[in-house]
Amino acid sequence: MNLNAAILGYGAYVPIYRIRTEEIARVWHGGGAGPNRMKAIASYDEDILTMSYESASQALSMANYPKIQAILVGSESKPYAVKPTGSILSDILGYNSTLGVDLEFACKAGTEAMQLISGMVSAGTIDYGLAIGADTAQGRPADELEFTAGSGAGAIVLGRPNGREVAKIKHSVSYVTDTPDFWRRPHDQYPMHLGRFTGEPAYFTHTTTSVKMLFSETGMKPSDFKYAIFHQPNPRFPVEVGKRLGFTDEQLRPALLNDDIGNTYSANTIIALAKVLDMADTGDMIMLASFGSGAGSDAFVIEVNSRDDDDGYVPFSERLRNYREVDYATYARWRGKILK
């Protein structure tokens, strides 16, 4: 779909705490490590509401607090099964005359929020909206997902292009099928998955299909883009899928984050977008493709305009350098893995 939407502000939040995958492997496998070096973990007093608040505060500050009419929160780790995160967040942010909605689609709920609000502002049904992807993803102890399932939140303030926008969202497509690579039933704490089935039939098929759809609808090709952002369930997949589609290391590398923070699920591609927007220049084109198990992929064409930094703005990559490592016991306590 053609879009006439603009990113007016963005924010990315990753908790200050990390656990090394070596530490997880020490406990469950007697040594070794996961595919990534570390993952970010939320403290005991953080959840997707608090992390959404953090990232939204950054995005709203950058956008100069416009009158938000829709707040969409994408997550698979909501504090309530029934009770919207969107309304809690609306209240805390001081926007009550707004739509407040929660979305879920494994790792792509955040880009769904982005696509939906982009559509609403393009159609003129609202002037400004806030799209958020946030998760405190959990892997079952000893499961391979435990190495990568991390915590984080990304937020985008969207409106129509006004000449002072950070970037324009020009086009978006989605592709979904019923592919059961990963799921969680309502009362289960941890998800189930089919191991390597999440690779070719799920991640690679859906991502390459959506990106090819995007190319075909827009007539664009990999060399038209300065940056390419793919969902990062581990350090290897985004590079692999990018190469298959014809992107180069130079286009792919700036977005990579998995080695440092793991897979932040619904926040994954939005946080990566924030990292790329921090370094992008006017006129740069960005291709972004998310992936959500179950399965589907949203792809976007984004054109960078400019960004007026506040005096106090600290780029995401710099904030990422400040972290504290915790051991498995602390992680297990904080993330509710100890039976009480």
Partner 1 sequence: MNVIPIAYWRNRKVYTRMIGTKCKDCGAEFFPPVRVCKKCGSRNLEEKEMPKNGSLLAYTKLSEPAQEFKEYAPIYLGLIRLDNGVNVISMIADADEEKLKAGARVQATVRKWTEDGKGGLVYYGYKFRVLQ
User: Contact positions toward partner 1, by CB under 8 A?
Assistant: 16, 43-47, 49-50, 53-54, 79-80, 88, 91-92, 94, 322, 324, 340
Query: Minimal CA–CA distance to 274: which of 155, 174, 162, 186?
Result: 155
Which two structure tokens, joined as six digits, stand for 135? 């998760």
For residue 239, the minimal CB distance to partner 1 (Å) is 32
Q: Toward partner 1, which CB reaches closer, 4 or 57?
A: 57
How far from 102 is each of 81, 87, 307, CA to CA, in Å? 10, 9, 29
The burial of 18, by beta-carbon neighbours within 10 Å (0-12 exposed, 13-18 middle, 19 or more buried), is given as: buried
Q: Cα(294)–Cα(278) distance, rounded to whole angstroms?
A: 31
Interior angle at CA 226, CA 235 and CA 255, nearest 5:
25
Q: Which is nearer to partner 1, 30 or 312 (CB)?
A: 312
Relative to beta strand 99-103, strand 70-74 is parallel
Three-state DSSP class for residue 195: helix
Cβ 94 to partner 1 shortest distance, Å: 6
- Closest-CA residue to 142 (of 264, 29, 234, 36): 29
CA nearest 226: which of 308, 274, 282? 282
- Closest CB 54 distance from partner 1, rounded Å: 6
Select 82 or 124, whichever has its Cβ closest to partner 1. Answer: 82
Residue 337 CB, shortest distance to partner 1, in Å, is 13
From the CB of 189, what's the least distance to partner 1, in Å? 11
How are the residues of the chain apportioned to helix, strand and coil, as percentages rounded to the nearest 5? 35, 25, 35
User: With respect to partner 1, which residue has the nearer C-beta, 26 or 333?
Assistant: 333
Please say whether the beta carbons of 68 and 95 come within 8 A. Answer: yes
* Residue among 50 and 148 whose Cβ is closer to partner 1: 50
Residues assigned a catalytic role: 76, 107, 231
Q: What single string gives the DSSP state of each residue in 269-282? A: HHHHHHHHHHH--T
The nearest distance, CB 55 to partner 1, in angstroms, is: 11
Q: Which is nearer to partner 1, 56 or 228 (CB)?
A: 56
